[in-house]
A and B are shown apart, each in its own frame.
Chain A
Amino acid sequence: MTEFCVALFYSNSHALRAEKLAKKAGFKVKVIPTPRHLSSDCGFALRCDEDDVPAIQGIMDGDSVEYDRIEKVG
């Protein structure tokens, strides 16, 4: 079974930019409401496969996308 991770952002604009860049690179990602237990924020988070985390992190670091952290979810 695939394990999921969630990337948390400070800004929804950055979350959506990350989504666009990751999709463009061929990764399966989904914008979801930020899980309440991870943050009190009302905004977006980006869900991705655990295996893709290093590559997606690389994409975000290579652009100007700022993110808080990436957490593993159930």
Chain B
Amino acid sequence: MIYFDNAATSWPKPEGVIEAMAAFSREVGANPGRAGHRMSVEAGRIVNDARDAVAELLHVNDPLRVVLGSNATEALNLAIFGLLGSGDHVVTSGMEHNSVMRPLRQLEAIGVELTVVECAADGSMDPYDVDAAIRQETRLVVLNHASNVVGTLLPVSDVGAICRENDALLLVDAAQTAGTHPVHMDDDNIDLIAFTGHKGMMGPQGTGGLVIGERVNIADLRPLKHGGTGSRSELEVQPDFLPDRYESGTMNTIGLAGLIAGIEYVLQKGVEAIREHESSLLARFIDGARTIPGATLYGPMDTARQTATTSLNIDGLSQSEAGLMLDEEHNIMSRVGLHCSPSAHRTLGTFPDGTVRFGFGLFNTAEEIDISLEALENMAEGARTSGGGR
């Protein structure tokens, strides 16, 4: 089986991730930081070690500014709903996932003003277009670090500098980049990073979080959830300090045990080395796919300007037919359709049908790329000779 759906969830996981989760179940298993007994303390240490690991990977100076949660979607919701209110203006790109677009559209209904900065047909963005969109009342700019559909990298660092000049905050959705492309909180001028553990960080599903930078005033960021934190239990109101203010309820400690092992694996391999490997697979795929008659590729098609995720369509084959043929006849797992990103597909000109997406990962090989190219060639030829009949 060939797994090319790493842009959704990376698979397989390093053996250490599975071992860490099994060890937690067998040996630790208690509620983190709620009681003083040694099992609870150990579980609490795992939660804090996960903060340290995330901070190291994303170059965050203070691990206590890493708020842990379920995934990037939850983190984006926390930041967006927590910061914005009626009368505020927010800017985003035309390449966003619905984890950004749906919260923003929801807020429009209560009087938040939204500007969507258009991107080029390959998904790229001119940072000066953000500059032009910023107004006096602009509170926040939300940007995808890289597209989940075609991998296009957005100029977060430049936009971050613009935000700082204009007293706005920059929230970056690093779901597609954390672990596979360098993410640097300070150098990239980022104020908030939403990350998820189950993609490039090589951890399990149900782990993620929000890094909250020093330019964010905690009093201005409302929690998404209120509840027990194991601290200030005498108070019936939410604590006002990090990270507790945003971490109500028992943590996914078993998942975090796996996430630590995943991040350790990534750090040991090196983000740059991982990026190099994945880029070489992407380059091999693009070189082959662009010569297939009837195949149309989308995005930059340039390893320097994107992650190892790309999309294509084949003349005469619907996306669902192509996906099913890849799965059933060629044992290749792709992801077809709109990828929860109607806005991005409009920018790419592939709405409403979508694309067939290939998300290459750390454990994929050149041989798997060659097998998939042969499969795509056969499929394109079959579609041509059958008269392209759907």
Contact = CB atoms under 8 A, between A and B. Distances in A.
Interface of A: 9-14, 16-17, 19-20, 31-34, 40-44, 63-66
Nearest to B68: A13
Contacts of A33: 35-37
Measured as residues with beta carbon below 8 angstroms from the partner, the interface class of chain B is 20 to 34
Contact of A16 (B34, B37, B48, B244): B48
A10 B231 contact: yes
A42 B48 contact: no
Nearest to B233: A42
Interface stretch (B14-22, B39-47, B93-101, B121-129): B39-47
B241 A11 contact: yes
Contact of B51 (A9, A13, A34, A66): A13
B62 interface: yes
B41 A44 contact: yes
Contact of A10 (B45, B62, B241, B247): B241
B232 interface: yes
B239 interface: yes
A71 B64 CA distance: 24
A64 B63 CA distance: 9
20 contacts: A12-B33, A12-B244, A13-B44, A13-B243, A13-B244, A16-B47, A17-B63, A20-B45, A31-B36, A31-B41, A33-B35, A33-B37, A34-B36, A40-B234, A41-B231, A43-B36, A43-B233, A64-B62, A64-B65, A65-B64
A32 B44 CA distance: 12
B230 interface: yes
Interface of B: 33-37, 41, 44-45, 47-48, 51-52, 62-65, 229-234, 239, 241-244, 247
A40 B233 CA distance: 7
Given A13-B44, A17-B63, A42-B230, 15 more contacts: A11-B231, A11-B239, A12-B44, A16-B41, A19-B45, A31-B36, A32-B36, A41-B231, A41-B232, A43-B230, A44-B33, A44-B36, A63-B62, A64-B62, A65-B64
A9 B244 CA distance: 12
Contacts of A64: 62, 64-65
Nearest to B234: A40
Contact of A12 (B52, B62, B63, B230): B230
A35 B230 CA distance: 15
A33 B34 CA distance: 9
Contact of B48 (A13, A43, A63): A13
B233 A41 contact: yes
B243 A11 contact: yes
A16 B64 CA distance: 11
Contacts of B65: 64
A46 to B, nearest CB: 11
A66 B45 contact: no
Nearest to B66: A13
